[in-house]
Amino acid sequence: MRPTLRRHNIRFRERLAASRVVAVLRADDTVYFADVAEALYDAGIRAIEIALSTPGALDAIGALRTGLGADAMIGAGGVRKPSDVDDGVMAGAEFLATPIFSAEVLERAQAYRVPVVCGALTPTEIDAAWRRGAAAVKVFPIAQAGGPDYVSAIRAPLPEIPLVPAGGVHLSNVDDYFGAGAFAVAAATTLIGDAADGGSLLKLGERASQLAALAGKYV
C-alpha cells in the first residue's frame, strides 16, 4: 500500500471512530436527502454514504459536503467499477463504499488516495480486501451470514481488520455487533426508514439519536 494512502486510511478510521456509524441513503431521488442528512448530523452521525443507484446522487454528494459541518464525511456507495470511482471522486466523495470485493475498484481508488470501505463476506474476501488497501471492510450481508456471531468468528483469525457489518443492523442488536468486535456499523433502511422518501424526520431523528448514543458507548 502506498504510504500516502495509508495515511488517508488511518485518518478516515480516526474520523469514523468518533461516531462508529455510517448512515446509508438511497431512494428514488434525492429530494429529501439534505433534510435527512441534517437530521442525521444533528443526532451525531457524521459519516453519510450516498448510494450511486439513486438518481442525482453525484449532485447530492457535492451539496451535502457544502451544506453540512466540516466534520461530516460524505461518501459514495454502491461503487462496483472503476468508472464509479471516477464519478464519486469527481463529485467530491471523501470515501467510497462497495457491496463487493473488487481489486480494480481498490486500485483505482488508490490512485486518488481515497479510502474505501470494501464489501466482502467470506474470510478470504475480507482478507483480500484488507491486503489490497481497504480502509475498512464492510461485512455484507451480515444478517444472512450469521449476524454478531459471524463478526466474532471473523475477528478471531483476522483481529487487525476493522469490520463494518451492514445489511442487518438494528437498534436492538447494535450492542451485540460492537460486543462482537465491530469497528463501526452501517445502517440503511433500519435507520432511515421512509424519511428519504418524505417520511417523518422527527422519527428519523429519534432513531438516529438512539443509534448514535448506543455507538457512542464504544467511542
Q: What is the pLDDT of residue 19?
A: 94
Q: Phi, psi at residue 146, to the nearest 5°?
A: 130, 5
Q: For this structure, is 138 an active site residue?
A: yes
> What's the pTM?
0.96
- CATH superfamily for domain 3-216: Aldolase class I (3.20.20.70)
Q: What is the pLDDT of residue 41?
A: 97
34 or 219: which leads in pLDDT: 34
Q: For this structure, is 125 an active site residue?
A: no
Strands 47-51 and 136-139: unpaired
Q: What is the pLDDT of residue 200?
A: 98
**14, 38, 49, 125: the active-site residue:** 49
**Mean pLDDT along residues 191-197:** 97
Q: What is the pLDDT of residue 6?
A: 86
Q: Given pLDDT bands bounded at 50, 70 and 90, which one contains residue 2?
A: low
Q: What is the pLDDT of residue 5?
A: 72
**Mean pLDDT along residues 76-88:** 98
Residue 39 has pLDDT above 70, yes or no: yes
Domain boundaries, the chain: 3-216
Distance of CA 149 to the CA centre of its chain: 21
**94, 125, 138, 160: the active-site residue:** 138
Summarised one tens digit per residue, pLDDT across range 106-156 is 999 999 999 999 999 999 999 999 999 999 999 999 999 999 999 999 999
Q: What is the pLDDT of residue 4?
A: 76
Long-range contact set of residues 58-62: C-beta below 8 Å, sequence gap at least 24: 58/87, 58/88, 58/90, 58/91, 59/30, 59/91, 60/25, 60/30, 60/33, 60/34, 61/88, 61/91, 61/92, 61/93, 62/91, 62/92
4 or 83: which leads in pLDDT: 83
Residue 1 has pLDDT above 80, yes or no: no
Residue type at 202 in one-letter notation:
L
Surface-to-core class of residue 20, CB atoms within 10 Å of its CB (0-12 exposed, 13-18 middle, 19+ buried) = buried
